[in-house]
Amino acid sequence: MVLVADDIWKSFSSGTGRSEVLRGVSLSVAAGESVALTGESGSGKSTLLHLCAGLDVPDAGEVRVGGQALAALSDAARAKVRRDQIGLVFQQFNLIPSLTVGRNLSFQARLSGREGGLRIEALAERLGLENLLERYPEELSGGQQQRVAIGRALAAGPPLILADEPTGSLDEATGDKVMDLLLELVRESGAALLMVTHSERLAARLSRRVHLRAGQLE
Amino acid sequence: MNVRGLLVCICLLLGGQGFAQGFAGLGTSAEGFPDPERGTPLQFPRDHGAHPEYRIEWWYVTANLTGEDGRDYGVQWTLFRAALDTELAEGWLTPQIWKGHAAVTTPNQHFFAESFARGGVGQAGAKADPVEVWIDDWQLAGPDINTLQLTATDQAFSFDLGLRADGPLVLHGDQGYSVKSREGKASYYYSQPAYKVRGQLSLPDGSVGVSGHAWLDREWSSQPLSDDQRGWDWVSLTFDSGDRLMGFQLRSDDGVYTSGTWIGADGEVAPFGDGVLKLKPLSISDVNGRKVPTGWQVDLPDRDVSVQIDAINPNAWMTTLFPYWEGPMRITGSHTGRGYLEMTGY
Amino acid sequence: MIVLRALLSHWVQRPVQLASLLLGLALATALFTGVQAINAEARTSYARAAAMLGQDQLSRIEAEDGQLFDQASFVKLRRAGWKVSPVVEGELRVAGSTARLMGVEPVSAPASAAPAPLAETNELLRFLQGNVGFAAPATAANWSSIDPLPELRPLEGLIEGVVLLDIGQAQRLLGMEGQISHLVLADGGEGASALPQGLVIRPPGGAGDVARLTDSFHLNLTAFGLLSFVVGLFIVHGAVGLAFEQRRAMFRTLRALGVPLNGLMASLLTELLVLAFLAGVVGVALGYLVASLLLPDVSATLRGLYGASVASSLSLQPSWWLGGLAVSLIGALIAAGQSLWRLASMPLLAPAQPRAWMRASERGMRMQLGAGIALLGISGLLIWQAQGLVTGFAALGTLLLGAALCLPVLLGWVLQRLTAAARGVGREWFWADTGQQLPGVSLALMALLLALSANIGVGTMVSSFRMTFVEWLDQRLSSELYATARDQAEGEALRAWLADQDVDVLPIWNVKVELFNAPAELFGVTDHPTYRQNWRLLQALEAPWDKLAAGDHVMINEQLARREGLWPGDALTLPNGRAMTVAGVYGDYGNPLAQLHVTTDLLVQLYPDVPRLRHAVRVAPDQAEALRQALITDFGLPASQMIDQASIKQASLNVFERTFTVTAALNVLTMAVAGFALLTSLLTLSGMRLPQLAPVWAMGWTRRRLAGAELLRAILLAGFVMVCAVPLGLALSWILLNVVNVAAFGWQLPMFLFPGQWATLGLLALVVAGLAALWPAWRLSKLPPAELLKVFANER
């Protein structure tokens, strides 16, 4: 299993008290598998994804990425897991605005020291960005920006892709195209994919689907 | 580099010691300064004072003393004068530099001090009548040359000695014209070798009353040495018989030049020329990293003198700007007695 | 490396912000290091002067009355076993300027006081014979072989304007044959005998009187340097804080992509150090420029006011470079400390809100207000307690900082009131929007407040000082003509000659003395209406002049009175032991020394050798010129020995003006820095404010109108700051006049108000703010509508 979440509990303090966001969630994703995580707004989808990425730690339970339990790791070691084993795709793209598209594409691969085998031109061509490499993110349309983000996540060939509403900021047509590209690339790379979405239509395109309701998987 | 260090250069001009380059100052040409002339009669008391027209001059007192504690002591007091220029200007422009050396030697200790002064304003000088020779608070002074008080003070030591003599002054060489080399370099040179001394020494251990005898040398010239002379050995010996001997040898590349004066107990004064006196090192001491002969065989066959002289304290090295050896000696052999030895150029 | 490059790429896209950061830091560094360089140069000069005299390590023997004494004393002491060496000092006119001659005696000088590296025998002989002297390279180049000086060899370590000669030569040139100024005493060189009557030993005095006297002047400069530095740091703090907030999203992305927090912090620190290094290099170079431009004025001031010689050219030392860079780095770290701390404590998943920093929290504002009020309280306490110079400056610092911290809170409150009271939706929006913008510009406004109030405070102080000084000069310089004889005999002849004319002659004779372990001047005055009418006494007994004339009372200057707490009726013992009573205290501005007046008769009785050379002459003003001519033609006094009232007043005023040239220059620079701070913050804000402006635009305001509102806002804010700056500046000025001046110079000055100056300054502030707002406003008015529309398109 690339990703294993085992009996995850997580609560946040709110104005009046603590609210339990995740209550004993267990989930695993195997290599080559693509899993859609659906649920209502506030059902804890994003929280679960963040925990899987090691951006936060659960109150109880364990997240293992590539067999490593994240909670036991230091902040720096968790950062290394993210760098080397995880590709993240956000709804807001989160590109680095002051770097060119080309540099954004290769950023994570270079962070993890795997730029050696990387062929940015080929990747850019695959993403349809070959003429935009010298541009800055703000000069790109939303769809183009998300394609850069997807490329960035996949460039280093991580075994796990985590995506949080990757087409949430895009119109339907653009979103579909971007989704096609994402799924195609994930399939080619053989990585595991966990994608948060609220769209039934998109969820249906993935190999498996889990639904989160009131902090528990159905 | 400070001025004190640079006074080294000036000291090249000041007599008393030998250096490489043929005693440097003493051997260099003395353009414009008069040379001593044979046959010039010395006049006293006038000649006890300074002769600023000549380039170099000194008042040199050595004393062999015995303390109330029975120990041997030696005292040296010297004032050197050097003219930087022939011009005889006044005040600060006076081109005269004075240098004083004072030393006390005991069998196991040797104290010395050195000081400098410019002439012209009164910090140092030499007057003939009454006699007053001084630098700072060191002085040799009295109503006449045979009645003097000798003082010097430094941080570690001081002395205050009364000097009395009744005998006549001794004129060396030809009536005070003393030849120093085969080329005929010469100086005016006279002595009072027979002072009786009584006084006090103050040393770090305390003060001690002393008595004994002292010898004054007076010499002035403009260029007394030859270029190739490397140093000298000079002795003043007072025998228990009452006889006295002053002798020196000047060492150069091609041998030595000796000269001296026999002063008999009966008042006879007999200068002698080159080759009469024989000086031969007997024992070499390691002093301040140098090999210095502190024991000598002194022979004056004409007078049946064959004595050995040995330093009371071989470590009587004067680490002044221009270092030399100067100390009291004990005499054994055909005659006994005490004296002083000065050695330069080692 | 890759993270650092990503961070640095931010700046490439924002050159203005980068420039403001670099320039702010560079300016702060420049002013600070510039002032430090001036101080260091001056201190080096004092130390050199002191070392030259051997005074830094050696005791001196001087005449009790500070006058020259006979060289026979030197010989007498040497012959009594004292290890002393004579020195003679004096001034000589050379080629139209004044040379300070120092005559030494190298043969008897102690090794540590030996002045000249006379490298070889012949050189020493030439020196002793007066054919060669030594001087600092620049001085030697100017004066070598200029009549009457001999050939001068350049020698490092001497200060400019000083010529080192053999004592004999110096005595001849100065006309002081046989006389000496003082003796230097070798360590442990005391002789057995006592000192001759009239001579005293002065222990080694560090860098000497000059350093002590000029301390206050340098502290003044340092305070200004620090003020500029603080203003500069405001800019840097703003720029760094902004850059941090703008990159919050980037930080989050970087961490999500696997950059550990420590790595990110290290990269940010590296970035900061790189920028600080660049700014430091520029700043040190600028500081050198500032220092070299100001130094001639500074050295002229020091020479005029304290008689201290300071090199007028700057020597660039490696330590100075390093110090400047360190200041830049430290400044950057201080300015960025808050940002770095916030990054360290920022949760990984914190929402990226680039504008959150502008909405300063209620709690933050309360804390700032609290800190400000606390500082103001400390300042008040310090003033209440204030005695020393350092306390005075500390009070100034806390007052300024406290007031600056309170400013945004006060301004925010005012804007709230205005919003509430506004009529019409346009005005309401205008005030509310100004209030919202406040946190972004508050740093710049605080900097402006500091600069303006410093300007008002220092301006008021200088102008009050000038008014008092001019009035005082008019009173004190009441005689029509001042004539100085060249020697005692001529002085006597001069008095006799003048006695035959129909004029009153007032001797101005004085001796230098040592009183309360400090140098002082003792003057003699003749009982004459000139003094009774013109001298305004700050405090006095009944009939003070009659008491003075009786010979048992003394007048003292304010400096002495304050320093020693001596007031009319108090007893005072003159240096030679005579007991006197203080009859009155007079103002004596511009003089760093303590001063006393007794009757001329008493002065002559106590100091028979006092030089009787200077005389004031009371003559009908229209006959002054005729008398001057008669003195030249009939008596034979050279014109150069006389000075008329107008000329001496002018000379005094020149000294005064020069004293404050540097202050004024630093004031202008501080103001420029503050204006720059305002410009940069408005520029950066303008880029971020589009989301707030776009809706207003969409609802019907034209871009022109929006731009006009922006311009107006800047000017209004500056006006408000100016209003706050006036009372603050006056408080500052009050502290300067009543605390700092008293401690530094020993005189208290009345405070005058100069509303005209405030008006000018206020106008200047408005213009500066207008100029600073002009460019951002112009950019706004020319902004393509598409850019504004983007705000809606990108809304998320």
Partner-chain contact B123 C79, CB within 8 Å? yes
Q: Which of B328, B294, B289, B340 is nearest to B314 (CA)?
A: B294
DSSP A62: E
pLDDT at B10: 39
| Chain C residue numbers touching B117 (CB-CB < 8 A) | 78, 107-108
Gap between the Cα atoms of A43 and A210, Å rounded: 12
pLDDT at C181: 87
**Stretch C62-89: mean pLDDT:** 87
C249 touches chain A (CB under 8 A): yes
Question: Across-strand partners of A175?
Answer: none
pLDDT tens for C754-766 read 888 888 888 888 8
- Examine the pLDDT at C40 and tell me if it is beyond 70: yes
Instruction: For chain B, report the end-to-end CA distance as a whole number of angstroms.
Output: 26
- Examine the pLDDT at C187 and tell me if it is beyond 80: no
- Examine the pLDDT at C666 and tell me if it is beyond 80: no
SS (H, E, C) C393-434: HHHHHHHHHHHHHHHHHHHHHHHHHHHHHCCCHHHHHHHHHH
Q: Which two tokens stand for residue A43?
A: 């059902």
Partner-chain contact A111 C3, CB within 8 Å? yes
Q: In what order do the strands lie in the sheet with A192-196?
A: A86-89, A160-164, A192-196, A34-39, A208-213, A216-217
The verdict on whether omega for the bond into residue B45 sits within 30 degrees of 0, i.e. cis, is yes
Classify residue B306 as left (phi > 0), alpha (psi -120 to 50) or beta: beta
Give the minimum alpha-carbon distance from A91 to chain C in angstroms, rounded to a whole number.
11
- In order of C14, C237, C307, C440, the CA distances from C232 in angstroms are 20, 9, 34, 16
Question: Across-strand partners of B127?
Answer: B132
Give the minimum alpha-carbon distance from C361 to chain A in angstroms, rounded to a whole number.
18
Residues 6+ apart with CB under 8 A from C425: none
* β B56-67/B72-83 pair status: antiparallel
- Examine the pLDDT at C352 and tell me if it is beyond 50: no
The verdict on whether omega for the bond into residue C260 sits within 30 degrees of 0, i.e. cis, is no
User: Is there a contact between C167 and C103 (Cβ–Cβ < 8 Å)?
Assistant: yes
pLDDT at C662: 67
Q: Which two tokens stand for residue C117?
A: 């590296």
pLDDT at C728: 92
Interface of C with B in 33-92 (CB under 8 A): 71-72, 74-75, 78-81
Q: Which of C455, C373, C29 is nearest to C226 (CA)?
A: C29
pLDDT at C358: 44
C261 touches chain A (CB under 8 A): yes
- Examine the pLDDT at C25 and tell me if it is beyond 70: yes
| Phi–psi pair at C125, nearest 5 degrees | -65, -45
pLDDT tens for B165-179 read 988 999 999 999 998
Q: What chain A residue is nearest to C3 in terms of C-alpha separation?
A: A111
pLDDT tens for C90-113 read 878 777 777 888 888 888 887 655
pLDDT at B271: 94
Q: What chain C residue is nearest to A113 in terms of C-alpha separation?
A: C2
Partner-chain contact A79 C258, CB within 8 Å? yes
Gap between the Cα atoms of A60 and A22, Å rounded: 10
- In order of A89, B97, C247, C553, the CA distances from C556 in angstroms are 85, 50, 66, 10
Mean pLDDT of chain C: 80
Q: Which two tokens stand for residue A30?
A: 């195997």
Out of C2, C250, C252, name the one closest to residue A111 (CB). C2
Gap between the Cα atoms of A107 and C258, Å rounded: 11
pLDDT tens for C514-531 read 787 777 888 888 888 888
pLDDT tens for A176-190 read 888 888 898 888 888
B140 touches chain C (CB under 8 A): no
Interface mutation target, options B13, B115, B123, chain C, most CBs of C under 10 Å: B123
Gap between the Cα atoms of A35 and A49, Å rounded: 12
Gap between the Cα atoms of C533 and B122, Å rounded: 53
User: Is there a contact between B13 and B55 (Cβ–Cβ < 8 Å)?
Assistant: yes
Out of C3, C12, C249, name the one closest to residue A94 (CB). C249
Gap between the Cα atoms of B124 and B79, Å rounded: 9
pLDDT tens for A128-164 read 888 988 888 888 888 889 889 998 888 888 899 999 8
Gap between the Cα atoms of C510 and B247, Å rounded: 66
User: Is there a contact between C400 and C732 (Cβ–Cβ < 8 Å)?
Assistant: yes
Q: What angle in degrees, to the nearest 10, is found between the helix axes of C248-256 and C261-306?
A: 140
CB contacts < 8 A (A, C): 73
| Stated pTM of the model | 0.58
C131 touches chain B (CB under 8 A): no
Q: What chain C residue is nearest to A46 in terms of C-alpha separation?
A: C349
Instruction: For chain A, report the end-to-end CA distance as a whole number of angstroms.
Output: 21
Out of C249, C259, C262, name the one closest to residue A111 (CB). C259
Partner-chain contact A107 C2, CB within 8 Å? yes
| Chain A residue numbers touching C250 (CB-CB < 8 A) | 96-98
Gap between the Cα atoms of C400 and C382, Å rounded: 13
Most confident by average pLDDT, B135-144, C528-537, C663-672 = B135-144
C260 touches chain B (CB under 8 A): no
Interface mutation target, options C107, C124, C171, C174, chain B, most CBs of B under 10 Å: C107
- How confident is residue C334, by pLDDT bands cut at 50, 70 and 90? confident
- In order of B24, B190, C637, the CA distances from B16 in angstroms are 11, 15, 57
Gap between the Cα atoms of C320 and C329, Å rounded: 14
Out of B7, B93, B95, name the one closest to residue C107 (CB). B7
C355 touches chain A (CB under 8 A): no
pLDDT at A1: 87
Interface residues from chain A to C (CB-CB < 8 Å): 50, 53, 55-56, 75-76, 79-84, 86, 88, 90, 92, 94-99, 103, 107-108, 110-112, 136, 152, 169
Gap between the Cα atoms of C637 and C643, Å rounded: 12
- How confident is residue C56, by pLDDT bands cut at 50, 70 and 90? low
Q: Which two tokens stand for residue C271?
A: 């970035």
Interface of B with C in 16-55 (CB under 8 A): none
Chains B and A touch (3+ CB pairs under 8 A): no
Partner-chain contact C259 A76, CB within 8 Å? no
How many C-beta neighbours within 10 Å does residue C93 have?
A: 10
pLDDT at C660: 67
More confident residue, C441 or A61: A61
Q: Which two tokens stand for residue C396?
A: 């100034």
User: Is there a contact between A47 and A214 (Cβ–Cβ < 8 Å)?
Assistant: no
Question: Among positive and negative, which fits the CA dihedral B175, B180, B183, B185?
Answer: negative
Burial class for C471, CB neighbours closer than 10 Å (0-12, 13-18, 19+):
middle
C377 touches chain A (CB under 8 A): no
H helices within chain B, ranges in order?
Answer: 3-11, 20-23
More confident residue, B24 or C203: C203
pLDDT at B272: 93
More confident residue, B223 or C578: C578
Burial class for A72, CB neighbours closer than 10 Å (0-12, 13-18, 19+):
exposed
| Phi–psi pair at A200, nearest 5 degrees | -60, -40
Gap between the Cα atoms of C542 and C526, Å rounded: 19
Gap between the Cα atoms of C541 and C344, Å rounded: 69
User: Is there a contact between C653 and C470 (Cβ–Cβ < 8 Å)?
Assistant: yes
Gap between the Cα atoms of C25 and C510, Å rounded: 52
- In order of B119, C231, C294, C381, C684, the CA distances from C289 in angstroms are 52, 19, 9, 39, 29
pLDDT at C583: 92
Gap between the Cα atoms of B335 and B331, Å rounded: 7
- Examine the pLDDT at A91 and tell me if it is beyond 50: yes
User: Is there a contact between C78 and C94 (Cβ–Cβ < 8 Å)?
Assistant: no
- Examine the pLDDT at C796 and tell me if it is beyond 50: no
pLDDT at B300: 95
Task: For residue C720, give the amino acid letter.
Answer: F
- Examine the pLDDT at C658 and tell me if it is beyond 80: no
pLDDT at B64: 97
Out of A79, A95, A112, name the one closest to residue C255 (CB). A79
- C-alpha A14: how far from its chain's center? 26
Partner-chain contact C107 B95, CB within 8 Å? no
What parts of chain B have a pLDDT lower than 70?
Answer: 1-31, 224-226
Give the minimum alpha-carbon distance from C187 to chain B in angstroms, rounded to a whole number.
12
| Chain C residue numbers touching B93 (CB-CB < 8 A) | 129-130, 168
ipTM of the modeled complex: 0.88
Gap between the Cα atoms of C26 and C279, Å rounded: 5
| Chain C residue numbers touching B2 (CB-CB < 8 A) | 111-112, 114, 117
pLDDT tens for C742-752 read 777 777 878 88
Interface mutation target, options A99, A103, A164, chain C, most CBs of C under 10 Å: A99
Q: What angle in degrees, to the nearest 10, is found between the helix axes of C208-246 and C645-688?
A: 20
pLDDT at C315: 67
Q: Which of B216, B128, B133 is nearest to B170 (CA)?
A: B216
pLDDT at C449: 87
| Chain C residue numbers touching B97 (CB-CB < 8 A) | 107
C796 touches chain A (CB under 8 A): yes
Gap between the Cα atoms of A198 and A209, Å rounded: 11
Question: Among positive and negative, which fits the CA dihedral C426, C429, C433, C435?
Answer: positive
What are the DSSP calls for C55-82, one per residue?
Answer: TTTSEEEEETTS--EETHHHHHHHHTT-
Question: Across-strand partners of C316?
Answer: none
Question: Across-strand partners of C598?
Answer: C524
Partner-chain contact B136 C79, CB within 8 Å? yes
Question: Among positive and negative, which fits the CA dihedral B137, B142, B145, B151?
Answer: negative
Gap between the Cα atoms of B11 and B25, Å rounded: 8
| Chain C residue numbers touching B3 (CB-CB < 8 A) | 106-107, 109, 111, 114-116, 118, 124
Q: Which of C53, C292, C40, C4 is nearest to C162 (CA)?
A: C53
Gap between the Cα atoms of C237 and C334, Å rounded: 8
Partner-chain contact C257 A111, CB within 8 Å? yes
